[in-house]
Amino acid sequence: MKYWIKKLELLIGLMWILLCLCSGCSNGTKTPAALIRSTFIACQNLPYVDISTNANFEHYIASIKINSDENINIDQQEKLNASLLDMFHAYHDGNYDTYMAFRTPGLLKWTMDPDAINIMLGLWSSATNVAPPTNDKDLWVWYLRNVSGGNYYKDFWTGVCIDPQILNAQLGPANGFMNYGIEIHKMNKMTTLYWEFHDLDQRTNLMWGLYYTTTYFREEVTPRKLIESRGYLLVADIYCFIRRDPPYPPQPLFARFYWSDSIRGWVPMDLAIGALRHVGAYNHVRVTAF
């Protein structure tokens, strides 16, 4: 009997060791769940700067060093800062004109994308029983109000953290996505954030589930055609974190603008927004239109 009890004690000991190995506590590394939790807390604790019309916010954006190997002139730098301010205000101020100032800047000639019209008509038919508007703009105005929760993104984003040094220090390396902050470079081949990130997003099944926006606007000469004719496109990549309206958690934001010689300004090209996986379900009422 004593012999069997000794054997059983040994078995229990082995099971404890096995259990420790399973739960990952034996090697001192963080489990995926722990890593997600700590990243979530780190995102919440970032020093967000309130999006506002006062000079503080403008100075904050202007203070971020633009990382670039290209020869960027003062005009391009200032216009990029202005475009970023337009973007942050577009998802904060709650004003249709502010949104459009970001989305269709300057004298850019654009039309609504035909596929986008079909998507909007789809939403219209599921939301109403009446005939849709008879022009593109009215349909778009309705659509934007609808997906923004009825108020054109009033306080949708409330704060921004875009300082690469702070993001690196508090969140660790950018893990193969864009670099933190603002980076300007030449794009020699047409690509999209979806094609750049999708594999990475799938492989790193840890924290960010990315939502890729679909463009609703089509320029007269598209970025694809510009690369085709000129061989490259000057683009500005933005990787920052945004503080959302409560109760939603902060989100990483990836944005890309391209330089348009025709309007002498930056044009929004692509947007991807992340949401933390596994930290609870958030029933999002508002969807980021682009």
Partner 1 sequence: MNKLTSEKIKIAVFFMLFPLLVLLAILAKHRNGQDWRTAPQPEVERETQSIVTWAKLPFVPLSNRTALTQYLHGIFIVDGDQLSSIQHEKLYDSILRLTDAYSVGTLQAYMDFRLPEGAKYDVSERQMTMITADWNKLNSNNTRPPTNDLDLFEWWVGKQSDGGYYKDFWQGICMDPKVIYNSIGTNDLDGYPMTAGIIVSNRREMSPFGDFVMRSTFNAGIIGYTPSFIFKNTPFGKVSQDTNVMTFSIYFFVQPSPPDPILPVDIRYMWDSESTNWVPTDFIMGNLLMHSKRYCAF
10, 17, 19, 285: which one contacts partner 1 (CB under 8 A)?
19
CA distance 142 to 158: 24
Minimum distance, C-beta of residue 101 to partner 1, in the bound complex (Å) = 23
């205000």: which residue's tokens?
89
Minimum distance, C-beta of residue 123 to partner 1, in the bound complex (Å) = 9
The answer to whether 265 and 105 have CB atoms below 8 angstroms apart is yes
CA atoms within 13 A on the CB side of 120: 29
Residue placing its CB nearer to partner 1 in the complex, 67 or 191:
191
| Residue 204 makes contact with partner 1 by CB under 8 A | no
| Residue 220 makes contact with partner 1 by CB under 8 A | no
Question: Residue 275's beta-bridge partner residues?
Answer: 209
| Residue 1 makes contact with partner 1 by CB under 8 A | yes
Q: What does each C-alpha distance from 268 to 1, 152, 215, 261 come to in angstroms?
A: 78, 18, 10, 14
Minimum distance, C-beta of residue 256 to partner 1, in the bound complex (Å) = 13
| Residue 117 makes contact with partner 1 by CB under 8 A | yes
Alpha helices in 25-184 (DSSP H): 32-44, 55-63, 74-90, 96-103, 114-127, 136-147, 164-171
**Where does this chain touch partner 1 (CB under 8 A) — which range of 20-28, 68-76, 95-103, 246-254?**
20-28
CA distance 200 to 154: 32
Q: What tokens were used for 237?
A: 């990549």
Residue placing its CB nearer to partner 1 in the complex, 126 or 283:
126
Q: How many residues bind partner 1 (CB under 8 A)?
A: 49
The number of beta carbons lying within 10 Å of the beta carbon of residue 218 is: 14
Per-residue DSSP letters for 117-128? Answer: HHHHHHHHHHH-
Contacts of 174 (CB under 8 A, 6+ apart): 167, 168, 180, 239
Residue placing its CB nearer to partner 1 in the complex, 38 or 151:
38
The answer to whether 197 and 254 have CB atoms below 8 angstroms apart is yes
**Where does this chain touch partner 1 (CB under 8 A) — which range of 65-73, 111-119, 170-178, 280-288?**
111-119
| Residue 9 makes contact with partner 1 by CB under 8 A | yes
Minimum distance, C-beta of residue 191 to partner 1, in the bound complex (Å) = 5
83, 158, 215, 260: which one contacts partner 1 (CB under 8 A)?
215
26, 75, 106, 122: which one contacts partner 1 (CB under 8 A)?
122
| Residue 245 makes contact with partner 1 by CB under 8 A | no
Residues near partner 1 (CB under 8 A) are 1-2, 5, 8-9, 12, 15-16, 18-19, 22-24, 31-33, 113-118, 121-122, 125-126, 131-136, 139, 189-192, 194-195, 205, 214-215, 218, 222-224, 228, 277-278
